[in-house]
């Protein structure tokens, strides 16, 4: 709840520090005293637009600071602070400060940490609930009606939200799979053609290097064929060098025993024969290895050309072609597999949708029952507020499927009819200012036990009424304050003012050309005087004081 409001240099307020407590706090004062300034100042810390006209004349800047304390920090506030990386220790107050410069611009702080105005607006809904004749954010705004109804109904939004997320996820997976299958189908003909071309060629890993080496050898053979043929003729026949060496060796063998040198010569000649034989074998092997087969060479060159052309076509190395073939086969298989997966995903999406629909229908039934209960509760509050001819209705409609979401398939809006036989219409369309405020009070009383913001403010809800109606308003405000914890009411009604557990007087004073607005908390005597003033006008009479005493005693 709001525990302290500090204002510096806002319009007519030079410096003001107000402490607030639990219960019903009333703010009174003569017309034009500056009650709206307090609400404008509070609006700054709640994220309202920073108008430079708010800065007190002659000052270069203005500031407002509001302190909020909680027995337990509301989850929505805790989550917003966590997202903004703002730490709040258990039991530590939440202090929001806003500065406005006279030459334009503003700054916002939460517990002295710079923050955005957007975060202030996000926190505002859980900090202060403001209701007045021109309120467009509270109960009047249809965008918040569903949340209020769900809070009243106790709708299981967590389960519904989980079902929605599961369905949304299943639909996203299905959509992605459909896109993939469609893309695969579009590529299918091209894949089949490419794979047929690769399959016909059937490239093998390492084939390029083997073909290149074989082609190089055959090319060498072609180049060396003449020399090899000439050498072959030299080593063949009875008059070849090797044959002559063998003949010489045989002759020398017959006489080698005749002299040691002859024996040594034979040994040398034998070695020469052996070496020459090895040379002959090497030449033969080389001739075989470098054999020149024009057809084989042509086939090798053709194969290399085809492999390299295909590699260029697919922008890869020749050795990567076998892997490319496998990849294409996998992609083609995936088309069939993807279609099978598509069937499974479609079934999963249907199941998720059915589960969501079941949860949404349950939420719808819960809301319909709660709406009837709420309508009855509000109807019971209208007569005491002099709205006995009016009717209240909670309208629940089933939205088009494209507007379904985590909160279900329903739309909700609070409608009223102010005269017998007239059609129901939105709250802010047909109710006058005073009627609208009383409708809001009746609705708030009916919703009170289901919680809301930490602090509730009613701005001149009693305008245009008096007597029993004002008394009924005061009684309901006091009841709301006891149930909600803290309620502040700007009022012109003595019956409402008498119900307050704290009473603040807003007064304007002038000294020379300087006018200031001040606020003081009244004691018992001060309350009697202020309520008597509200009863009698400019001159406070003894009868007015006596009537003020009776009002205070009645509460």
- 203: pLDDT strictly greater than 80: yes
pLDDT for the residue 484: 63
Rg (CA), the chain: 49
- 375: pLDDT strictly greater than 80: yes
Structural contact between residues 111 and 29, judged by C-beta atoms closer than 8 angstroms: no
pLDDT for the residue 120: 93
- Give the Cα separation of 85 and 459 in Å (integer): 34
Between 215 and 312, residue with greater pLDDT: 312
105-164 pLDDT, tens digit each: 899 999 999 999 999 999 988 898 887 655 555 677 788 889 889 988 999 999 999 999
DSSP per-residue letters across 153-220: HT--HHHHHHHHHHHHHHHHHHHHHHHHHHHHHHHHHHHHHHHHHHHHH---TTHHHHHHHHHHHHHH
Residue 534 lies in a domain: no
Share of the chain above pLDDT 70, in %: 90
pTM of the prediction? 0.64
Q: Which residue has 């709420």 as its token pair?
A: 374
pLDDT for the residue 245: 79
Question: Of 113, 119, 112, 15, nearest to 63 (Cα)?
Answer: 15
Task: Report DSSP state, residue 138.
Answer: S
SS3 290: coil
Residue 418 lies in a domain: no
pLDDT for the residue 381: 87
Quickly count: other Cβ atoms within 10 Å of residue 53's Cβ.
Answer: 9
Q: Which residue has 């030459």 as its token pair?
A: 103
Cα angle 513, 514, 515 (rounded to 5 degrees) comes to 120
Between 323 and 447, residue with greater pLDDT: 323
Determine the average pLDDT of the residues in 343-355: 93
- Please report, for the chain, how many H helices and E strands are present, in that order: 16, 15
Determine the average pLDDT of the residues in 491-499: 90
pLDDT for the residue 356: 97
19-55 pLDDT, tens digit each: 999 999 999 988 777 788 888 899 999 998 888 999 9
β-bridge partners, 518:
507
Tokens of 499: 């119900």
Determine the average pLDDT of the residues in 414-422: 85
pLDDT for the residue 62: 93
DSSP per-residue letters across 343-380: HHHHHHHHHHHHHHHHHHHHHHHHHHHHHHHHHHHHHH
| φ/ψ (deg, to 5) at 396 | -120, 125
- 449: pLDDT strictly greater than 60: no
Structural contact between residues 61 and 102, judged by C-beta atoms closer than 8 angstroms: yes
Structural contact between residues 442 and 452, judged by C-beta atoms closer than 8 angstroms: no
Residue 264 lies in a domain: yes
Task: Report DSSP state, residue 283.
Answer: H
pLDDT for the residue 58: 86
Residue 457 lies in a domain: no
Determine the average pLDDT of the residues in 346-368: 96
Lowest mean pLDDT segment, chosen from 21-35, 376-390, 426-440: 426-440
pLDDT for the residue 220: 72
- Give the Cα separation of 26 and 506 in Å (integer): 10
Question: Of 148, 153, 146, nearest to 396 (Cα)?
Answer: 146
453-482 pLDDT, tens digit each: 778 888 887 777 778 888 888 888 888 887
pLDDT for the residue 228: 63
Cα angle 379, 151, 409 (rounded to 5 degrees) comes to 100
- Give the Cα separation of 131 and 491 in Å (integer): 13
Residues 6+ apart with CB under 8 A from 236: none
pLDDT for the residue 95: 95
- 308: pLDDT strictly greater than 70: yes
250-298 pLDDT, tens digit each: 888 888 787 888 888 888 888 888 888 787 777 777 766 666 567 877 8
Residues 6+ apart with CB under 8 A from 200: none
- 239: pLDDT strictly greater than 80: no
pLDDT for the residue 433: 61
- Give the Cα separation of 371 and 352 in Å (integer): 28
- Give the Cα separation of 485 and 498 in Å (integer): 18
Residue 364 lies in a domain: no
Structural contact between residues 155 and 366, judged by C-beta atoms closer than 8 angstroms: yes
- 231: pLDDT strictly greater than 70: no
β-bridge partners, 64:
7, 98
pLDDT for the residue 438: 79
Band (434; pLDDT cuts 50, 70, 90): low
Question: Angle, nearest 10°, between helix axes 75-83 and 117-127?
Answer: 170
C-alpha dist (Å) from residue 199 to 311, 316, 354, 415? 14, 17, 47, 73
Residue 130 lies in a domain: no
Band (422; pLDDT cuts 50, 70, 90): confident
C-alpha dist (Å) from residue 281 to 219, 242, 249, 291, 456? 22, 12, 20, 15, 111
| φ/ψ (deg, to 5) at 225 | -60, -40
Give how many domains the chain has, as a whole number. Answer: 1
Band (410; pLDDT cuts 50, 70, 90): very high
Structural contact between residues 277 and 287, judged by C-beta atoms closer than 8 angstroms: no
516-540 pLDDT, tens digit each: 888 899 999 999 999 999 888 768 8
Determine the average pLDDT of the residues in 510-515: 71
pLDDT for the residue 188: 77
- Give the Cα separation of 445 and 447 in Å (integer): 5
Residue 514 lies in a domain: no
Tokens of 132: 């007045």
Residue 546 lies in a domain: no
Determine the average pLDDT of the residues in 297-325: 89
61-114 pLDDT, tens digit each: 999 999 999 888 888 899 999 999 998 888 899 999 999 999 888 999 999 999
Structural contact between residues 477 and 487, judged by C-beta atoms closer than 8 angstroms: yes
Structural contact between residues 530 and 496, judged by C-beta atoms closer than 8 angstroms: no
Structural contact between residues 500 and 24, judged by C-beta atoms closer than 8 angstroms: yes
Band (452; pLDDT cuts 50, 70, 90): low
pLDDT for the residue 400: 95
- Give the Cα separation of 471 and 465 in Å (integer): 10
Band (409; pLDDT cuts 50, 70, 90): very high
SS3 300: helix
Distance of CA 213 to the CA centre of its chain: 61
* Residue range(s) defining the domain that contains residue 192: 174-339
pLDDT for the residue 207: 87
């Amino acid at each position: 709840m709001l525990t302290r409001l500090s204002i510096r240099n806002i319009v007519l307020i030079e410096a003001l520090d107000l402490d607030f407590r639990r219960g019903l706090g009333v703010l009174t004062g003569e017309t034009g005293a500056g009650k709206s300034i307090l609400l404008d100042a509070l609006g700054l810390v709640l994220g309202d637009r920073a108008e430079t006209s708010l800065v007190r004349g002659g000052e270069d800047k203005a500031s407002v600071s509001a302190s909020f304390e909680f027995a337990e920090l509301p989850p929505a506030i805790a989550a917003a602070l966590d997202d903004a990386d703002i730490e709040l220790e258990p039991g530590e107050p939440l202090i929001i400060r806003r500065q406005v410069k006279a030459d334009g611009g503003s700054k916002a702080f939460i517990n002295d940490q710079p923050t955005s105005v957007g975060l202030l607006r996000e926190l505002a809904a859980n900090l202060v609930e403001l209701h007045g004749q021109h309120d467009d954010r509270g109960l009047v705004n249809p965008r918040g009606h569903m949340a209020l109804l769900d809070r009243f109904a106790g709708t299981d939004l967590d389960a519904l939200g989980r079902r929605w997320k599961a369905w949304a996820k299943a639909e996203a997976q299905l959509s992605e799979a459909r896109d993939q299958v469609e893309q695969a189908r579009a590529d299918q003909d091209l894949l089949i053609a490419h794979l047929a071309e690769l399959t016909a060629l059937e490239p093998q890993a390492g084939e390029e290097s083997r073909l290149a080496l074989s082609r190089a050898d055959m090319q060498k053979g072609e180049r060396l064929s003449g020399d090899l043929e000439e050498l072959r003729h030299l080593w063949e026949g009875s008059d070849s060098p090797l044959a002559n060496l063998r003949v010489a060796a045989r002759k020398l063998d017959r006489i080698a025993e005749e002299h040691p040198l002859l024996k040594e010569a034979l040994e040398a000649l034998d070695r020469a024969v052996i070496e020459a034989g090895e040379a002959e074998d090497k030449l033969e092997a080389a001739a075989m290895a470098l054999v020149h087969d024009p057809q084989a060479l042509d086939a090798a060159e053709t194969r290399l050309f085809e492999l390299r052309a295909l590699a260029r076509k697919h922008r890869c190395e020749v050795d990567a072609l076998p892997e490319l073939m496998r990849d294409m086969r996998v992609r083609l298989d995936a088309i069939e597999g993807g279609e099978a997966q598509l069937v499974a995903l479609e079934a999963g999406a249907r199941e998720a949708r059915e589960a969501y629909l079941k949860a949404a229908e349950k939420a719808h039934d819960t809301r319909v029952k709660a709406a009837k209960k709420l309508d009855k509760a509000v109807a019971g509050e209208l007569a005491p507020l002099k709205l006995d001819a009016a009717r209240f209705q909670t309208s629940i409609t089933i939205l088009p499927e494209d507007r379904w979401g985590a909160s279900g398939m329903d739309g909700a809006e609070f409608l009223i009819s102010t005269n017998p036989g007239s059609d129901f219409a939105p709250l802010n369309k047909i109710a006058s200012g005073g009627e609208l405020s009383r409708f809001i009070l009746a609705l708030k009383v009916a919703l009170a036990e289901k919680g809301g913001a930490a602090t509730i403010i009613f701005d001149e809800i009693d305008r245009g009424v008096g007597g029993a109606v004002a008394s009924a308003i005061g009684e309901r405000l006091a009841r709301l304050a006891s149930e909600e914890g803290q309620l502040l009411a700007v009022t012109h009604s003595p019956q409402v003012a008498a119900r307050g557990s704290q009473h603040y007087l807003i007064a304007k004073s002038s000294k020379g050309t300087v006018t200031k607005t001040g606020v003081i908390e009244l004691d018992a005597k001060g309350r009697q005087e202020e309520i008597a003033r509200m009863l009698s006008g400019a001159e406070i009479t003894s009868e007015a004081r006596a009537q003020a005493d009776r009002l205070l005693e009645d509460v």
